[in-house]
Amino acid sequence: MANVVVWSKVGCHYCKDVKDYLTEQNIVFQDIDVTDHDYLREVLQAKYGIRHVPVVEIGDIEKGTYQAVTEIGIEYLEKALLQKEEVK
């Protein structure tokens, strides 16, 4: 399974939905909490041109072989996870 990183913030119900889904699917993920950390939102702005969360990165981030799910909705996350599994 690919590495999964979730960029989220406290009080974001979309973020909670994403983390709950990953937990239910037994997918281990790292959570980066951007709450009260504007510099982390600047990272998102530089990488993806957005400042909103959740953003889910799937793949090998250190090697640069990953994709980011920036759309809101579990269906986008499911599709990206399925595509990563097909590549294996």
Provide the residue ranges of all domains of the chain, joining segments of one domain with +.
1-84
Q: How far apart are CA 69 and CA 27, in angstroms?
A: 16
Each residue's pLDDT tens digit, 7-37: 999 999 999 999 999 999 999 999 999 999 9
pLDDT of residue 45: 95
- pTM, to two decimals: 0.88
The residues pairing with 87 across neighbouring beta strands, listed in sequence order, are none
6's enclosing H/E stretch is strand 3-8
The CATH fold assigned to 1-84 is Glutaredoxin (3.40.30)
Each residue's pLDDT tens digit, 31-66: 999 999 999 999 999 999 999 999 999 987 677 678
pLDDT of residue 86: 57
